[in-house]
Amino acid sequence: MDAVIFIVDTFLSLAVYAFLLRLLLQLSRADFRNPLAQAILKLTSWLVLPLRRLLPPVGRVDTASVVAVLLAQLARMIAVSWLAVGAVMAPLPLLQATVVAVLVATLGLYTVAIIVYALLSLIAPGNYSPASALLATLCEPLLAPVRRLLPPVGGLDFSPLLVIVALQAVKLLIT
């Protein structure tokens, strides 16, 4: 049974991250001609497009994508708890736990993205790839303000380190 729980949890976690990535790419105004962005769109359109007919966007926020992330996380929590203990939490605590889990997933996604972005800048500086372009779109809104406060020292950019520390501190506050 543990293997089944692991497989279901992994599959639904990947779905949550796909929907979350779609939302974050929309919020950061990513270039959706990028092949990786196209892949994310194709993977998530089955749920977002029908929701978009029901939920209009609010400003720059695509409410259909927000609801899709929350529904994917809710499905994950319900499925895993049902498989693990044969029951589901009460509705209000379940919704609260879903929102917290999405926030924690967002912080985790940004942490990994910043680490990969920083490593790519060390390994292959100046080289273009669809992944580096997408990571730049995601990470630069967080890194640029820190770079203005703390410019590179001796050619080393410490802004990724400071942002990751801040993201982890926010994660500790949330959980």
pLDDT tens string 72-126: 999 999 999 999 998 888 999 999 999 999 999 999 999 999 999 999 988 877 7
Residue 156 DSSP one-character state: B
For residue 129, which phi and psi values (nearest 5 degrees)?
-150, 155
User: Rounded to whole angstroms, how far apart are CA atoms 131 and 145?
Assistant: 22
pLDDT tens string 13-70: 999 999 999 999 999 999 999 999 999 999 999 999 999 999 999 988 999 999 999 9
- Determine the length of the chain: 175
Q: Output the pTM of the full model.
A: 0.92
Helices 91-123 and 63-85: crossing angle, nearest 10°?
110
Tell which wins on pLDDT, 150 or 173. 173
How is the chain split into domains, by residue range?
Answer: 2-174
User: Rounded to whole angstroms, how far apart are CA atoms 109 and 17?
Assistant: 8
Return the residue matching tokens 């293997």.
Answer: 3
What does the pLDDT read at residue 29?
A: 92
